[in-house]
Amino acid sequence: MNRRAVFLDRDGVLVETLVREGRAFAALTLDEFRLCPDAGPQVARLRAAGLLPIVFTNQPEMARGTLSATTLGRMHDRLRAAVGVADIFVCPHDDAADCACRKPRPGMLHAAAARWGIDLFASFVVGDRWRDIDAGRAVGAYSLLLERPYSDCAVADARVSTLTEAVDAVLARAESSRGLHRPLSR
């Protein structure tokens, strides 16, 4: 368990989020599924630094019946091909399922750690919502919030405006401290 990873939320970090009336929504069709222009180059920087880029995403639209497994699979095929992430972990449940994998719970992070031999405490989480940050904090990962009008996040280890700034911060921290940090008090 010595690998370091950067866990990236999908929507709002690597994929453009649809915002309506101040609320963020995930793409439901392939036409709506648009990668952020800087996603590929920034993930390449993480890989070049020896960090494992892994996507972790809540997709409750599957449980709600508005997103099919086939469409989600095609979206993720497109994401893997264009961005070069190592793996994608999905929670297909809605809040009502009370599952261990739905962020803010850290089930997807634990599953990735088990599959890839990841040291969660030496890893990073980049997200655009409180759920992403809380999942990362639950396992002791260094959390970076991409601030958005809908983020609703009171506590993060760092706050940035762009994915490029997030990657800059991750790389600086990984270089200076080998990815280790003390989590903020809760």
Q: What is the pLDDT of residues 67-93, one digit of tens each?
A: 999 999 999 999 999 999 999 999 999
| Non-local CB neighbours of 2 within 8 Å, separated by 6+ positions | 117, 119, 122
Classify residue 182: in a domain, yes or no: no
pLDDT, position 1:
59
Rounded to two decimals, the pTM is: 0.92
Classify residue 117: in a domain, yes or no: yes
pLDDT, position 179:
43
pLDDT, position 24:
84
pLDDT, position 185:
37
The CATH number of the domain where 38 resides is what? 3.40.50.1000
Number of structural domains found in the chain: 1
pLDDT, position 178:
58
Q: Which residues are catalytic?
A: 9, 11
Element (H, E) at 125: strand 124-127
Q: Tens digits of per-residue pLDDT, 93-114?
A: 998 899 999 999 999 999 999 9
Q: Low-confidence residues of the chain, pLDDT below 50?
A: 179-186
Residue ranges making up the domain that contains 172? 5-177
Q: Quick count: other Cβ atoms within 10 Å of Cβ 41?
A: 12
pLDDT, position 137:
96
Cα(102)–Cα(47) distance, integer angstroms:
26
